[in-house]
Structure 1
Amino acid sequence: MSTDFTPIFLFLAIAVGTGLSMLVLSALLGPRKRTQVKQMPYESGMDPIGDARQRFDVRFYLVAIAFLLFDVELLYLYPWAVSQWSADPALAAATGGSPLLAGIPPIFRAMVFWEIMVFVAILTAAFAYAWKKGVFEWR
């Protein structure tokens, strides 16, 4: 029998076992008496006020989108920063690795650098536009 799929089956067995154990433990350790206080929603130690379906100000969503914008920017910048300066054929040969996996070849580094600078400039312009429109002002 081949062992190629053994890690996958082991992962699935652990995942199912964890789920079943959480189900059993919650049934054993969960609340037994259903009182009004125990069934009330918990919000950071405070009693909830008002309806949960109330409208939020659009500024909450704009700040969340701006956060996601800069979070995704970092997803692009970290791998680029690591690979930009790690293409050293001598280092790749010394570590036994392939020069193709060592990073951006030196001949393309300037082009990739300027592409990333254009990307950062576009994000900076978007940030300046959002700032000018007052997205980050809490009134």
Structure 2
Amino acid sequence: MNTEFTPIFLLLMVAVVIGLSMLIMSAVLGPKKVTAVKQMPYESGMNPFGDARQRFDVRYYLVAIVFLLFDVELLFLYPWAVSQWSGAAAPVAAAEAAPAAVAGIPAAFRTLVFWEIQVFVVILVAAFAYAWKKGVFEWR
């Protein structure tokens, strides 16, 4: 019998068991008193008012875009940081013996890649300063 999928099936089985046990435990141990206040809809802990189809303020979208900007920045910077210094501690003899075995950016390109990343960070800092100047971070 081929068992290469056994860990996947075990993971799925454990997930189903945990999900069902949480469902059963919440039904058994959860509160059961139904009141008018508990049945009332709410939005982020506050009572809703007005129509649900109203427009959002544009500042909400600006904050979301700025969050994505800096989230993507970290997405690019983390792999660079790992690859930039992963081969730095490797001995020279090991690098000469098996150059394909040494991970990371080749030593000849590390300075160039470092300054390219610095330009990337400067552009992102300029975008942050622009957003700050435009008042994106001020919630009125």
Structures share fold, TM-score greater than 0.5: yes
Whole-angstrom distance in 1 between the partners of 2:6 and 2:74: 35
Shift of 1:118: 2.6
Number of residue pairs matched? 135
Q: Which residue of 2 aligns with 1:28?
A: 28
1:56-135 alignment runs, 5 A limit? 56-88=56-88, 89-90=90-91, 93=94, 100=101, 102-135=103-136
Runs of 4+ with deviation above 4 angstroms: 41-44, 98-101
Whole-angstrom distance in 2 between the partners of 1:137 and 1:33: 42
Aligned Cα RMSD in Å? 2.9
Q: Which residue of 2 aligns with 1:39?
A: 39
Whole-angstrom distance in 1 between the partners of 2:93 and 2:50: 61
Matched residue type, 2:77:
L
Q: Which runs of 5+ in 2 are unaligned?
A: none
Post-superposition Cα deviations, 1:88-124, rounded to whole Å, max 9, x if no partner, equal 331894xxxx854532110121222122123212212
Higher relative contact order (CA 8 A, sep 6+): 2
Matched residue type, 1:2:
N
Post-superposition Cα deviations, 1:48-103, rounded to whole Å, max 9, x if no partner, equal 2524735432212212221221122112112212221221331894xxxx854532
Matched residue type, 2:128:
F
Using the TM superposition, name which of 35-44 and 71-80 deviates more.
35-44
Q: Which runs of 5+ in 1 are unaligned?
A: none
* TM-score normalised according to structure 1 size: 0.76
* TM-score normalised according to structure 2 size: 0.75
Q: Which residue of 2 aligns with 1:50?
A: 49
